[in-house]
Amino acid sequence: MAKKRQHLLPTKRRLVLIFFFVLLITISLISRLGYIQLVMGEELHEKAWEQWNRSIPTGSPRGEILDRNGELLVGSVTADSLIAIPQQIENPQLLSERLAAILDRDQEELFEKLTEDTEQVIVERILDKEDSRKVKALGDPGLKTTSETERYYPHGRLASQVLGFVGVDQGWAGIEYQYDEELKGQEGWLIFQADARQQELPHGVQQFVPPKDGQKLQTTLDSRIQYIMERELERAMVEYKPEGAMAVAMEPNTGEILGMASKPDYYPGEYKDFDESLRRITPINNTFEPGSTFKLVTLSAAIEEGKYNPDEAFYCPGHIEVSGAEIGCWTGDGHGAIDFTEVVYGSCNPGFVTLGQRLGTETLFDYIQGYGFGSRTGIDLPGETLGLLFGPDQVGPVELATTSFGQGISVTPIQQVVAVSAIANGGYINEPRIADKFLDEEGNVVKDKEVNTVRRAISEKTSQEVSEIMRGVVNEGSGQNAAIDGYEIAGKTGTAEKVGPEGGYVPGELIVSFVGFAPADDPEILIYVAVDTPTEGPAWGSQVAAPVFRNMMVDILDYLEVPPSKPGEIEEEVNYVEVPNLLNMEFEEAEEHIDQTALEVELIGDGETITDQIPEPGEQVPEQSSLILYLEATEDREEETVTVPDLRGRSMRETGEVLNMMGLELREEGSGIAVTQNPEKGTKVDKGTSVTVQFEPPDEFNEE
């Protein structure tokens, strides 16, 4: 019996030990399970969710870009994009063939995409509605469509370089690039559940996280002003056949850019179809020698420093010697005996060299840098360049002389606009800007950009004096072709030689420009115009850029409802000028006479000598009238053939005079303005040939 008790005791101990061991394991498992559920539950759930779920991004509606009046410049529309999930595609060969037929794509390229070793791959961005419908009709579980946004441009090419364009995922140029973060918004997601083989679960949960719209950007641009500028630049491209043309319009008191354009341009919606050079924002990306518009800097510095006396006598023999170098005046023969007011009106190079010498290197360059040349203006557009000035150790007497009239240095058009705006607004340098404010979906202002005055360049007194002189340039000097009846315009012409890619000036290639503001005593708008290498007609700022400026300013002042400076006098006051006698002059010899008149010149013929002109010498005609010059080479005078000119847009009387000048006869049909002609312009015909011209009333002609 005692032995039996001794045998049972170890058994009970073992059972107790086993019980406690099992209890300990159970408690450990329960504790572990509790830890997993309560402590690690959220983390593990997230990991499981990631394994179960697949997500496809959906594009966020990109913010609209508006003009200053709220008119839409760039908008967004929603379109489908096609995404493939390769592991869910059962027959990629068959599917690639079907997709190739729908999308008009290479079948082998599509097959490679459908068999990529990846969770998902973009097959096609931005499907049109019909293609999207056909893809969905295939019913393949490996294909998903998701929404993306596509930009559209209600005004076509208007302001294309400034607005820029959008690439695959972001803005790549212009405003689209500069303010990509604000415009792009936040992506949304299409979420679905899938098994370990990436197959979508039949009854899995699907979720759509909607995207968040980007902010709207209201710019300082005025679409109407932009349209007027681009229209006139297009006309200049046709009339003068230059390599390019550009213009900038600014509100001089605030730095707001009202318009910025250059031609040729491109359509942002199809940017890949255009040469990359057409996407450049020329007024801020390109630099060139400014020429005579830069003389305003030298003039204002000389006035500020007391080195300029408008009544002081000066003699221009056609050149000035500086350290053994002869620097010529653009006239060739010189202006002769003039005063310093006429130095400015006639844009006399030797006169400005004299002012530069009086100022000295340090003072002149202090003003140049004070105006902002040699540094970025801070405009909120990508790619602004610095330009190029002489360094302190590079400026000798010759460099000082050439800089004083805008040669030997390079600047950007926007730098010139900012500098002349300081003359217009009382002497202040304002940072130019394109963005005005950012708005949320409800139209609430998120961020508002304000005027940023950087510094004062000149005193108010000097700015008023320079403005008055610029008014005289337009009324009496080289800028007369920019004059507008009833308004006081302040301006300055410029003609600069063009520097080639390897340095040195390119013979016969010029950049002609005009900068001006109106009204002169209380400026509301400043416009800068530059035309690059005009090949038709005279290549001077006064004959090319000034008329373009005037055409823009006339319509813009009317659009802005700026009242004339002389109300009631617009119709009655007509200024007449005497037509100079240019017969038998070489064209280069006639340049000096033409550039000092308020006449617009039109050239006919390819020669060097002026053999005829309309109107006749000595005739009194209104300012801005057309002066038609017939050019004939000396060796061609006995030739019996001539080239038929372009007669469209001329009156019947003017058409007859032009044809008579060339030894051709007019056969008119109808009356009014010439609309068609036979033979066409550029045709070589014998002298005495009849040219049939169809005329129509002006109203009908304008409708065309």
CA distance 163 to 262: 13
> Cβ(239)–Cβ(603) under 8 Å?
no
CA distance 449 to 554: 30
Closest CA to 185 of 56, 80, 64, 55: 64
The 3-state DSSP class for residue 216 equals strand
Residues in the chain: 704
Work out whether strand 665-670 and strand 428-430 pair parallel, antiparallel, or are unpaired.
Answer: unpaired
In a 13 Å sphere around the CA of 471, the CA atoms on its Cβ side amount to: 17
Burial class (CB in 10 A: 0-12, 13-18, 19+), 348: buried
CA distance 148 to 137: 20
CA distance 572 to 579: 22
Cα R_g (the chain), whole angstroms: 37
Task: Tell me the one-letter amino acid at 3.
Answer: K
The secondary structure of residue 199, as a DSSP letter, is P
Return the beta strands (E) in 96-175 as ranges: 121-127, 143-152
The 3-state DSSP class for residue 400 equals helix
CA distance 481 to 491: 10
C-alpha distances out from residue 554 to 357, 476, 516, Å? 39, 19, 13
Instruction: Answer yes or no: 31 catalytic.
Output: no
> What are the CB-based long-range contacts (under 8 Å, 24+) for 133-141?
134/102, 135/82, 135/99, 135/102, 138/95, 138/98, 138/99, 140/89, 140/95, 141/85, 141/88, 141/89, 141/199, 141/200
> What are the CB-based long-range contacts (under 8 Å, 24+) for 93-99?
95/138, 95/140, 95/142, 95/143, 98/138, 99/123, 99/135, 99/138
CA distance 492 to 515: 6
The 3-state DSSP class for residue 305 equals coil
> What are the CB-based long-range contacts (under 8 Å, 24+) for 165-168?
165/268, 165/269, 165/271, 165/279, 166/62, 168/125
**Residue reference for tokens 């032009």:** 658
> Cβ(505)–Cβ(498) under 8 Å?
yes
Q: Tell me the two tokens of residue 356.
A: 């530069």
Give the helix/strand (H/E) hosting 82: strand 72-84
- Of 60, 223, 262, 292, the catalytic one is 292
CA distance 65 to 78: 16
> Cβ(429)–Cβ(453) under 8 Å?
yes
Query: Dihedrals φ, ψ of 376, to 5°?
Result: -75, 145
In sequence order, what are the residues at sequence separation of 6 or more whose Cβ sits closer than 8 angstroms to the Cβ of residue 596? 346, 477, 478
| Active-site residue list | 292
